[in-house]
């Protein structure tokens, strides 16, 4: 059995792998969830590719990523972020190497849901601007613990997905402005939460909230939030749209706008 080839992926139910968040992990748009990417169940391997574009008042963010799911136990991901400073001028880029291990449970049928432990190793391509703003480092590692649970017939007969993520991080604006700063260099423990209501098996609407550290004296950092809708055309293709409220970024206030992400899973 150990030497047999992995089964073709596709056993998991529709939408149970979530979508791809902006750092390349399976989850919502802003936060990683305890679910793993793709369609693989036990004994299967699957891959996922995604592209994301977000546009707020003075900035735009593009992300391209790939992820692998090994036996519904381990997720490995790689993402490249491109952050354009449309008003200030310039571009920042970041590579993110991620891994997520499912520790326990299942989001559908286990009383306590699913629990996963993840890491995201982040490295800026060019850290000159981050250093000028007071960042201590241009690379760092986020560590997070996530739990996800699907509650059947929870609201008006509709299924409700809940997720809570605790993240240990030094990242400024997710790492796009470096790590640590003149105000604080040590790690912060922050909270991220998501709700998703399944209007139909292929349609999900929800909200997300992501708490952020505030390390840089010259660039106060706001918490992130969104309202999203995701459509799963089938097990392999999904499209997510969202309204974003990212608050202050690098001295420019009240950054709001739209988000669109396409995911293909095999």
CA distances from 166 to 209, 210, 221 (A): 12, 10, 18
Band (12; pLDDT cuts 50, 70, 90)? confident
Mean pLDDT of 11-21: 84
pLDDT tens, residue by residue, 121-137: 999 999 898 999 999 99
Q: What is the average per-residue pLDDT within 224-241?
A: 96
Alpha carbons within 13 angstroms on the beta-carbon side of residue 50 total: 38
**Mean pLDDT, the chain, integer:** 93
Compute the average pLDDT of residues 73-85. Answer: 97
Cα R_g (the chain), whole angstroms: 18
**Confidence band, pLDDT 50/70/90 cuts, at residue 226:** very high
- How far CA 64 is from CA of 37, 50, 128, in Å, comes to 15, 6, 23
The predicted-structure confidence for 151-205, as pLDDT tens digits, reads as follows: 999 999 999 999 999 999 999 999 999 999 999 999 999 999 999 999 998 999 9
pLDDT bracket for residue 98 (50, 70, 90): very high
Is residue 3 pLDDT above 90, yes or no? no
DSSP symbols for 234-249: SSSEEEEEEEEEEEEE
């Amino acid at each position: 059995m150990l030497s047999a080839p992995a089964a073709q992926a596709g056993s998991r139910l529709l939408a149970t792998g979530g979508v791809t968040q902006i750092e390349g992990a399976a989850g919502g748009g802003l936060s990683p969830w305890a679910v793993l990417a793709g369609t693989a169940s036990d004994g299967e391997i699957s891959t996922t590719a995604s592209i994301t574009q977000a546009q707020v008042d003075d900035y735009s963010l593009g992300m391209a990523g790939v992820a692998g799911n090994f036996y519904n136990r381990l997720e490995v991901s790689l993402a490249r972020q491109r952050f354009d400073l449309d008003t200030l001028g310039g571009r920042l880029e970041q590579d993110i190497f991620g891994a997520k291990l499912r520790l326990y449970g299942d989001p559908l049928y286990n009383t306590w849901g699913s629990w996963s432990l993840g890491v995201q190793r982040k490295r800026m391509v060019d850290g000159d601007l981050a250093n000028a703003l007071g960042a201590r480092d241009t690379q760092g590692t986020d560590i997070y613990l996530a739990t996800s649970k699907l509650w059947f017939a929870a609201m008006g007969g509709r299924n409700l997905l809940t997720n809570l993520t605790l993240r240990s991080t030094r990242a400024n604006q997710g790492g796009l402005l470096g790590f640590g700063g003149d105000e604080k260099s040590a790690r912060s423990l922050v909270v991220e939460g998501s709700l998703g209501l399944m209007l139909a098996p292929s349609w999900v609407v929800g909200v997300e909230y992501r708490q952020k550290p505030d390390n840089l004296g010259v660039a106060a950092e706001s918490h992130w939030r969104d309202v999203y809708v995701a459509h799963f055309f089938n097990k392999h293709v999904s499209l997510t749209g969202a309204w974003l409220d990212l608050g202050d970024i690098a001295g420019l206030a009240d950054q709001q706008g739209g988000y669109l992400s396409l995911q293909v899973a095999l």
